[in-house]
Amino acid sequence: MMFGRKVMQPRLVAWQGDPGKSYRYSGVTWDPDPWGTAVAEIRDRLTTKLGIRFNSVLLNLYRDGHDCMGWHRDDEPELGPEPCIASVSLGAVRKFRFRKMGDPRQKAEVELGSGSLLVMAGRTQELWQHALPRMLRVKESRINLTFRVIR
């Protein structure tokens, strides 16, 4: 929902997780689909690597470089303070940008390649916005899995 209107997101989205772990963002509530086998395997590898048992995941499909995600923070109340979000990327390499809240001249950019893991933790969501910009020359698709702990 933007300015009270329903707007199509320029990406395809699904939500998987433990029963009852619903997620509400941009005015939409997502009830979880059951864990897919491959997704649960990645979740378990993250538990081994990071020592965190994620109970849900947002799955994003960017069909090509036209699909994107605008500036935002993952700061919904159900994520609690200082959430740890583990972001796994597969497929096309895409840029991922950060800008500081209150001082957008402070920014950072990383390239997320296939198989990469980006961990956002501590005060990242409080202090920084992030975005995945359009990259029109990218013709391939990209899947991004952002594992979360819903409280």
Ligand X SMILES: O=C(O)CCC(=O)C(=O)O
Site residues (vs ligand X, CB under 6 A): 58, 60, 69, 74, 87, 96, 112, 130, 132, 144, 146
Cβ closest to ligand X, residue 52 vs residue 73: 73
Cβ closest to ligand X, residue 49 vs residue 72: 72
Task: Report, in Å, the least distance between residue 40 CB and ligand X.
Answer: 19
Task: Report, in Å, the least distance between residue 11 CB and ligand X.
Answer: 8
Q: In residues, how long is the chain?
A: 151
E strands along 9-92, which residues? 12-17, 23-25, 28-30, 56-62, 69-72, 85-91
State the Cα–Cα distance between residues 60 and 7, nearest whole angstrom: 17
Cβ closest to ligand X, residue 9 vs residue 106: 9
